[in-house]
Structure 1
């Protein structure tokens, strides 16, 4: 990941300039940065430098992005986003111009283009090209509201910087322009399809992620083979009797544990399209009743480890954290054990009219960026045998379940339990995750 050589120093300077000694800790927290307390003889800049020392490029990029948002500093926010996006495919200027042509001279239908663009670009503070003394906001109003058709959307993109801004900002611009407040029905759908034909050239697409009043809400996402839809329920770390699950609201897919709640965990926060990080899981655990906030990471690790069923699973879990927690820090993807994939409300042995659902739980699940879901299975003898004897039926059931998962968009990786014990196991686990990170563009060296 590339990062401007002076970014840490630039951040230190901004913090120094924008906050008093007393305000610095609060400003730092707004960007996820812990600034040490004031000490006599230590300058504000040196305190900021100390807080920033040792931060990875991704961490510096995220701090710049968050600080830019908090301070309303467009350039700083864009600098941070450029760092965060440097390891993924860009949306080129050629593609952006062709997307603009899809709109013609009407960016947002019934919405106000000045208000829409102003939420994302500092048009009140920018002077329009060739129009000294007049803000870009006034020129957009003049040529796209009072005199529609004077400017086409490609020219607007050029003026506001949409041809060169971060991919994140460009994506939010398209999402806002396609909102049903501005266009509905066939007009909205046809325009989204036209834009998608262009975006696919760079490996992106506007997917329907939700709806409002029956109309689709679009989100820009990379093209991938990941599962369709967004994850909603995460029931995991089962270490006792199977929980009984009901719906608190079946329409909203809100679940409730009716019995045996202590034998599993339910992550009840929204799951983002960027995956689930260990730091986010720890934040969720820290907020639970009875958890010591200062010891949350350790106690969560112990609770998850208690759900593991074999030495091989425990070794994989322990080695993952030993290898990658120091490298990825807050950017470490969570490795979630004993996750319910299917849930059969009946006890299988009581079923008369059908077989129970296979593969109800996964050994480990990772929710990675771009809606990628990675399943890791640790196979003992029970995966290939019945009552101590080799079984083609058991093996067939396993590979059949694998096929269904792969066709649904999951990635599945299997380890034999004997691979995860003894000499060479740690190196083998490291090689696997290094290649997995490369595949998913996660940098374990720099975070």
Structure 2
């Protein structure tokens, strides 16, 4: 039986057990399900099956979730959430354990821990172990209230199933634990900051979504909508003839530069979920160029700068490092120039059966935590003119390429080249990056 069929049967069985023949239509309507009226000889379960026929997996998941909440049926709600969360970013057991450690042995401050947990987990019907005659609720009261400190929050999460439950339920537990009824002021804010360091590893963050009596209410939300997948080939800093690229192993996606290798750089190390830092790029360059550690950053900077084609690009590059290298230190994201996005091995003028790929290179790329990819473009007149005259065709090609990039999950920011030269350029560049760091929650190390 398929997963959808199993869920459909779970829903039908729940309706059979929880409602009479006459009650079924009104009970099911609470979950948006239209059940046929009672008909002689047709069982409650068959009526439910008729109503569920043809539903998509997602529709079945939502019906199961809603009925689970309505009936107080933990297993049915979890089954629905499992379907709804399929294919989305998980919060792993490692992250859940590390989040629990942030709380130490105090989950919810001034709130009643038993009542908080009871709203989300069936602790009154769960035994602490197979042979226990007491409910888990009694054990939580014993070890976390009467004998506070007996259990850590990590042990509590293990006992109630918070390390393996749906992401939605885990998030609601964290949010309830942070409610200002239990924690307020600097203590709440400090705990949120600590939890965010942990949650960001899986692509989530606690954001303020409301307030109560002047105190913030937090929700766990996705950090961003970056491209799926991880970077595999980073070809950048092109400063000469276009390189000829081939595959040394097409199965592993390993590339080799066949000619003009000196005109570009290829970063061949794995890029972590935290993105690519300047310190990592410098360390890689030290091995590639065979330079001493104290010379690596300087010589790499000169090599990257040599790939820039205009005063505006050079000013952006220079100002970025002047402003942020000391301020962000080892957490400074690498500002990577002249990055190949598409690689077209053919010379465009020789193409007969197709057009060349547009936007083969990006002016600058930042690879930030959680797959966030930031493209910075410096626009000269060639972006909107041809032969010195305004061109709708050139402009249309540019904005079409932008649309494709955005739909692939990239963020794109454009500057006119005239903005990046002159006395006000440094202040403009600083305002942009300061706001970008706030938006992506990149902070200066303490």
TM-score with structure 2 length normalisation? Answer: 0.56
- Are the equivalent residues in 1 in contact too, given 2:278–2:333 (CA < 8 A)? yes
Gap regions ≥5 residues in structure 1: 1-77, 83-92, 107-139, 178-190, 205-218
Residue 132 of structure 2 corresponds to residue 198 of structure 1: no
Residue 403 of structure 2 corresponds to residue 403 of structure 1: yes
Cα distance change of structure 1 residues 287 and 150 upon mapping to structure 2, 3 Å threshold: farther
- Are the equivalent residues in 2 in contact too, given 1:365–1:375 (CA < 8 A)? yes
Q: CA deviation at 1:292?
A: 2.6
Question: Counterpart in 1 of 2:225?
Answer: 225
Question: Counterpart in 2 of 1:379?
Answer: 379
Mapped partners of 1:271, 1:104: distance in 2? 46
Q: CA deviation at 1:294?
A: 2.3
Mapped partners of 1:289, 1:99: distance in 2? 60
1:38-78, Cα deviation, whole Å (9 max, x unpaired): xxxxxxxxxxxxxxxxxxxxxxxxxxxxxxxxxxxxxxxx8
Question: Counterpart in 2 of 1:344?
Answer: 344
TM-score with structure 1 length normalisation? Answer: 0.56
Q: CA deviation at 1:200?
A: 6.3
Q: CA deviation at 1:103?
A: 13
Provide the aligned C-alpha RMSD in A.
Answer: 4.0
Q: CA deviation at 1:97?
A: 6.0
Cα distance change of structure 1 residues 291 and 352 upon mapping to structure 2, 3 Å threshold: same
Give the 5 Å matches for 1:151-170: 161-163=152-154
Mapped partners of 2:391, 2:325: distance in 1? 39
Mapped partners of 2:271, 2:174: distance in 1? 23
Residue 413 of structure 2 corresponds to residue 431 of structure 1: no
Mapped partners of 2:135, 2:248: distance in 1? 51
Mapped partners of 1:374, 1:410: distance in 2? 6
Question: Counterpart in 1 of 2:268?
Answer: 268
Cα distance change of structure 1 residues 101 and 311 upon mapping to structure 2, 3 Å threshold: same
Mapped partners of 2:124, 2:405: distance in 1? 42
Q: CA deviation at 1:102?
A: 11
Mapped partners of 1:284, 1:376: distance in 2? 23
Q: Which has the higher contact order (CA 8 A, sep 6+)?
A: 1
Q: CA deviation at 1:198?
A: 3.3
Mapped partners of 1:290, 1:367: distance in 2? 25
Q: CA deviation at 1:242?
A: 1.0
Question: Counterpart in 2 of 1:285?
Answer: 285
Mapped partners of 1:100, 1:376: distance in 2? 45
Mapped partners of 1:238, 1:339: distance in 2? 8
Mapped partners of 2:347, 2:133: distance in 1? 66
1:98-121, Cα deviation, whole Å (9 max, x unpaired): 999599999xxxxxxxxxxxxxxx
Q: CA deviation at 1:320?
A: 0.3
Cα distance change of structure 1 residues 401 and 197 upon mapping to structure 2, 3 Å threshold: same
Aligned length: 284
Q: CA deviation at 1:381?
A: 0.5
Mapped partners of 1:201, 1:253: distance in 2? 41
Larger Rg: 1 or 2?
2
Question: Counterpart in 2 of 1:392?
Answer: 392
Q: CA deviation at 1:293?
A: 2.6
The DSSP-based 3-state class of the residue aligned with 1:399 is helix
- Are the equivalent residues in 1 in contact too, given 2:236–2:264 (CA < 8 A)? yes
The DSSP-based 3-state class of the residue aligned with 1:318 is helix
- Are the equivalent residues in 1 in contact too, given 2:202–2:370 (CA < 8 A)? no
1:183-237, Cα deviation, whole Å (9 max, x unpaired): xxxxxxxx7xx62343566999xxxxxxxxxxxxxx8332221111111111111
Question: Counterpart in 2 of 1:131?
Answer: none
Greater Cα shift, 332-341 or 194-203: 194-203
Question: Counterpart in 1 of 2:90?
Answer: none
Cα distance change of structure 1 residues 103 and 295 upon mapping to structure 2, 3 Å threshold: farther
- Are the equivalent residues in 1 in contact too, given 2:120–2:173 (CA < 8 A)? no
Question: Counterpart in 1 of 2:210?
Answer: none
The DSSP-based 3-state class of the residue aligned with 1:287 is helix
Question: Counterpart in 2 of 1:304?
Answer: 304
Mapped partners of 2:355, 2:315: distance in 1? 33
Cα distance change of structure 1 residues 344 and 151 upon mapping to structure 2, 3 Å threshold: farther
Cα distance change of structure 1 residues 388 and 105 upon mapping to structure 2, 3 Å threshold: farther
1:402-436, Cα deviation, whole Å (9 max, x unpaired): 01111111100000000000011000000001110
Cα distance change of structure 1 residues 99 and 306 upon mapping to structure 2, 3 Å threshold: farther
Question: Counterpart in 1 of 2:361?
Answer: 361
Cα distance change of structure 1 residues 415 and 163 upon mapping to structure 2, 3 Å threshold: same
Mapped partners of 1:436, 1:383: distance in 2? 24
The DSSP-based 3-state class of the residue aligned with 2:414 is strand
Mapped partners of 1:269, 1:409: distance in 2? 23
Mapped partners of 1:430, 1:401: distance in 2? 27
Mapped partners of 1:340, 1:331: distance in 2? 24
Cα distance change of structure 1 residues 349 and 327 upon mapping to structure 2, 3 Å threshold: same
